[in-house]
Structure 1
Amino acid sequence: MTALLLPRSDGSLAEHTVSAPREWPKPTGALRSRVVYAAAHVVPRVLGENVPGAPADVDWDATLAYRRALWDYGLGVAEAMDTAQRGMGVDWEQAAELIRRSAAEARAEGGRIAAGAGTDHLTEWTDVDAVLAAYREQFEVVAGSGARVIVMASRALAKLARSAEDYARVYGALLDEADEPVILHWLGPMFDPALRGYWGSEDVPTATKTFLEIIRARPEKVDGVKVSLLDAEHEVALRRELPEGVRLYTGDDFNYPELIVGSADGHSDALLGIFAAIYPAASAAIQALDREDPAAALSTLEDTKELGRHIFQAPTYYYKTGIAFLSWLNGQQPGFSMAGGLHAGRSVPHLAEVFRLADRAGLLVDPDAAVERMRGFLAVNGVGR
């Protein structure tokens, strides 16, 4: 097999022999035992001005092709979330276009889709009523596209809310007005520091109490909750407290194998950024659960866990860089670049470890092509010269 020298974090080079490609069968029908969404990234146009401070210039063909690959493996697409650099290079105007295009593609492909409604187009953070109006505007776009609404956490609300009651008022109004059940999203400060103290408190048990009160007041309006706090014990405890019929979509990109496979006590469904990187393995695991083989499902997901933890290591904000890098290695985007210049968010040794761990997990679709790209990347960055 092909070997190449990869840099390590200490500056040394170590030989890595690439494994043979692994076969990942696609499902022959809908996945049944879990509802799973992959939060997909956007592919920038190679010759676009995708530099810091500039609006994203999206390669629509490649971006939508990536979503078709997710649907082919039976996963749903969570659109225009933080993985798509929402508010981090992709503004609301572009996100709205992304939602409309992806929802139309989902209808054509028969794929499941949910999409984020937030407040990131709000230019003046005046008061909580302005936040509610901004949410309503984005709700209309998402619901109008045919996608399920994901209520994204709002930086503006985190800044302006003075108490838990302000959160209850905003979310209560949105749930009352929703025509279909929505997904509520609790994104922790490790993903976005501007969301510290969401639900009115930096104390997680206190914030959880408010969160549950909002859900219990209108459970029929809540399809599920996505929780991204990277705390498995908290997630399991919260899952037990949810009203019947309300799903917990894990957003824990560290502990997803055991949370999704679960136990006699229950399991989590999934809405994960890491699934955009490991979707063939994620599909295989859910297929194993559909066959009532939890051991095989857990083993498959555990094989990807080290990769997931590496991609999402602190500063977690830059996890998207690893996902885009793996997409490029697998030929799903023509160049390794990201909107807003975010491809500079990780070091060369970090990305070399993404290559190494993806290969170990069997997630390099064409190892020879991936090696060629990796060698080019290393050469451009002066490694081995």
Structure 2
Amino acid sequence: MAKKYLIINSGSASGKYSLYANEKELAYAHYEAGEQFVAQIRLGNQVENLTISKAEFDALLQHFLNKVLAANLLRTIEEIAAVGIRVVCPGIFFQRDRLIDHDFIEHLNTLAKNDPIHSQGLILSIENIKKILPAAQLTGVSDSYFHAKLPKTAKYYGLPKSDSDALEIFRFGYHGLSLESVTEKLPRLLGQMPEKTIICHLGSGASITALKNGKSLDTSMGFSPLEGLLMSSRVGDIDAGAIIYLGRQKGLDWEKLERYLYQQSGLLGLSDHSSDLRVLLGSEKSNDQLAVEAFVYRIVKYIGAYTAVLGGLDCLVFTGTIGERSSIIRARVCDKLKFLGIALDQAKNEAALAQDQSLESGSSPVKIAVIAVDENAIIFRHLRA
């Protein structure tokens, strides 16, 4: 019997699970939290779209395993030999793939003392996996490895260098697995990898990355996934002085301040009621419109800055749940970039939905593409390496 491999890719408001055997994906599930908890599950050639309960969303691993067992894609869970888990944590240790062993857990527990929001969820996830799959080998696949050779000018903050080096306060960058998928799929779509590319990974977590010949030159996320764009509930770029002032005025300790910036800000904070971009796009409320406009503004601002860093732009890529699905956001972004010569084909844009496709009109000197990334396939490849 062929060994089975489980892939777990947890995002800020989503979960993606895959089951592999003989280098083939047997099952896939994409779970999302929004106004409802929804899932699309593919078992062999059968696709099912369903709404699930909060209790089921809080136990996604068990939900997925129950589905693959019921479909006879697994006879028993003991057939799963190894598990690959996406790891989003700051630190040089976590900037490479690692076996989840005692040393890994020790580093994770150390991180948890000072940065619990990144590590606690992963610690609980690992404990749950070990409880359900005690015999499986677990590997943490780094989501920041793609940026490991970021130029020093982009890597360092304006802190005393000795402190940055001693405390490992660097701009690590994230969404690396998504970016790796783009760099594999984009040349197949265009015939080659463009020299100067900007990738917009837009989802609940969002980032912009500048690539020079397929390598990361700069990226909007930094030490943590908090920096950069306005996100569903994360603040994005903010003056450090404003954070100090905010904490003092509201009497927030570090833990409460962290939750405030990660879970109460962004689209949710500006609109004051929803982190779901789909809800905000359909609203006429002034705060909702402000949230959407600010979201687009930050994207355009980073694209402009990174075009300057790259010395021009050959290709603009949209990916991530919003980037792949929202023709409205793609159109609004591209409309503000006409000064770069960007010209979007409206018919192509409106027809593109989570599939690899070129979107530029014939007059556009800049290629525009939607790439449906497959992070799980990248995690599986890393797991098997």
Normalized against structure 1, the TM-score is what? 0.28
- In terms of fraction of residues, the more strand-rich structure is 2
- Length-normalised TM-score, structure 2: 0.28
Asked which structure has the greater RCO (Cα within 8 Å, sep 6+), the reply is 1
The structure in which a higher percent of residues are helix is 1
